[in-house]
Structure 1
């Protein structure tokens, strides 16, 4: 009995997505065929690779040992296929990009037309979202993320450092004591995308260290544009990307708080699955956007 790459690919996908049925759907394989493929692979290996039953799914000891080798085999095959197909032929098919809303509008929009012009036969789809997309479970080929949290199993390429700013409406600041140093931020209301803390605290990421400020109130949201709207209505001091706040600051509806205080920038990373590192359309997009943002 010969080893079939389709069987290995199904096994790895089942582990990634947490089920044989889900793997069959992701690979467009009939569910009955998926079960036969896994049994065929287990018969060839000589061991049960996956526990599966009512409410139970997981790797056996032998499955865990075989998984690392299976991933290496798929990676090697994908790289070989990519090298063989790496020609000057035009890119075709679809490229799906997942990106937080404000980055899609403020960062990518001015560059995507150039990429589309360079690859007119490639269908480009941008999914705007506010939650992190799981590339192992979703259809996206590439995702732009803030920071590296959750990227341990992905290829992550830094494409830009995002400047942060503390800002508030002038009439909010007029009703509160003058802010001249970080300690003066205590007792204020804050608007942030940062993680929740048990106490009523605000983390201000200084360039030298993190400052923990005791706040009068903290409002959190995963949408910086919502924070800006609240800040403009005198809801508090917003910690947001300068990319989002620039227009409001230039228009005078917001002013920078502690303009001489340097905040630690956030890293914007373009992420994709390791097995797809040599896919031509992904490599083309990564190279194009990285170069475009370096010059921006």
Structure 2
């Protein structure tokens, strides 16, 4: 006989008080119920329930096995529920947080496709450059750019963010020479205050990594404001390529320092360590890893 079925019958006998009562609850005969108990005892090599014509009681081994069997069957039920959830149709509301530039320039254009694939899901996208608290602010998932600190959250690595350095033609006509990163010390750099780029810019060149301290008259924590300043000829900008690709194609910005690459910034999607991941969150994480894969 199936070991799990015998375990379920044993637990029902203990909780019902008698074999006949358990049989009634299980919707089967007392003979089959008693046979399942004897089969379980035989397989374990111990007596679990001491039985007389008038009463029954758990043996010491029966007490131990009863407590463990309840845990095993509960975990089995939970596993079955998890499998059912993975096969369920995603539905409900997703609350997502992302940095402003990544969210508006990269993520937002893909979300209509996700919603089309999952018509019973609605999505709230919150854009902010601050580090939100996923649990306290009730987000289902958050996107982070840059190196991750130690965290209790699960993280899926996505395609890194391509960073570039540019300036408007007007600025370059008026500015001094700009052949190597060290020349930036004599230029107006547009400072993004949200990351370590507020104090230094890092490059990978022919001779390895180069770190250059940067200063400038204009600082902001908003990439779009930084772009506007660059287009007006106020200085040199280092930002993600998706933000500036249209302006570069139109000739309104020009890439500089061609012999030096700006290291890409890592991108991750994070979510809580919750074993009971909902179908809607699972579908969103799977969508992101497919469409923003490395």
**Structures share a fold, TM > 0.5?**
yes
Q: CA deviation at 1:151?
A: 5.2
Q: CA deviation at 1:82?
A: 5.8
Q: Which string of whole-angstrom CA distances, capped at 9 and with x for unpartnered residues, describes residues 9-43 of structure 1? A: xxxxxxxxxxxxxxxxxxxxxxxxxxxxxxxxxxx
**1:82 and 1:253, CA in 2 relative to 1: closer, same or farther beyond 3 A?**
farther
Q: CA deviation at 1:281?
A: 1.7
Deviation larger for 114-123 or 235-244: 114-123
**DSSP 3-state at the match of 2:190:** strand
**1:81 and 1:266, CA in 2 relative to 1: closer, same or farther beyond 3 A?**
farther
- Determine whether 1:269 maps to 2:268: yes
Q: CA deviation at 1:294?
A: 3.2
- Determine whether 1:237 maps to 2:197: no
Q: Which residue of 2 aligns with 1:179?
A: 178
Q: CA deviation at 1:249?
A: 1.1
Contact 1:192 1:224 in 2 (8 A): no
- Determine whether 1:258 maps to 2:257: yes
| CA distance in structure 2 between the partners assigned to 1:209 and 1:192 by the alignment | 24
**1:82 and 1:186, CA in 2 relative to 1: closer, same or farther beyond 3 A?**
farther
TM-score (normalizing by structure 2):
0.66
| CA distance in structure 2 between the partners assigned to 1:102 and 1:121 by the alignment | 28
- Determine whether 1:136 maps to 2:111: no
Contact 2:202 2:209 in 1 (8 A): yes
- Determine whether 1:280 maps to 2:279: yes
**DSSP 3-state at the match of 1:132:** coil
Q: CA deviation at 1:109?
A: 2.6
| CA distance in structure 2 between the partners assigned to 1:98 and 1:206 by the alignment | 31
**DSSP 3-state at the match of 1:171:** helix
| Counterpart mapping for 1:99-118 below 5 A | 99-118=98-117
Q: CA deviation at 1:202?
A: 2.8
TM-score (normalizing by structure 1):
0.65
Q: Which string of whole-angstrom CA distances, capped at 9 and with x for unpartnered residues, describes residues 211-264 of structure 1? A: 333445264432211111111112211110011011111111111111231111
Q: Which residue of 1 aligns with 2:159?
A: 160
**DSSP 3-state at the match of 1:102:** helix
| CA distance in structure 2 between the partners assigned to 1:277 and 1:217 by the alignment | 49
**1:173 and 1:86, CA in 2 relative to 1: closer, same or farther beyond 3 A?**
same
Contact 1:277 1:283 in 2 (8 A): no
Query: What RMSD, in angstroms, separates the aligned Cα atoms of the two structures?
Result: 2.8
Contact 1:161 1:267 in 2 (8 A): yes
Deviation larger for 159-168 or 272-281: 272-281
Deviation larger for 208-217 or 231-240: 208-217
Contact 2:89 2:279 in 1 (8 A): no
| CA distance in structure 1 between the partners assigned to 2:80 and 2:230 by the alignment | 52
| CA distance in structure 1 between the partners assigned to 2:243 and 2:276 by the alignment | 31
Contact 2:199 2:213 in 1 (8 A): yes
Return the index of the structure with the highest Cα Rg. Answer: 2
Q: Which residue of 1 aligns with 2:27?
A: none
| CA distance in structure 2 between the partners assigned to 1:84 and 1:214 by the alignment | 53
Q: Which residue of 1 aligns with 2:201?
A: 203
Contact 1:158 1:267 in 2 (8 A): yes
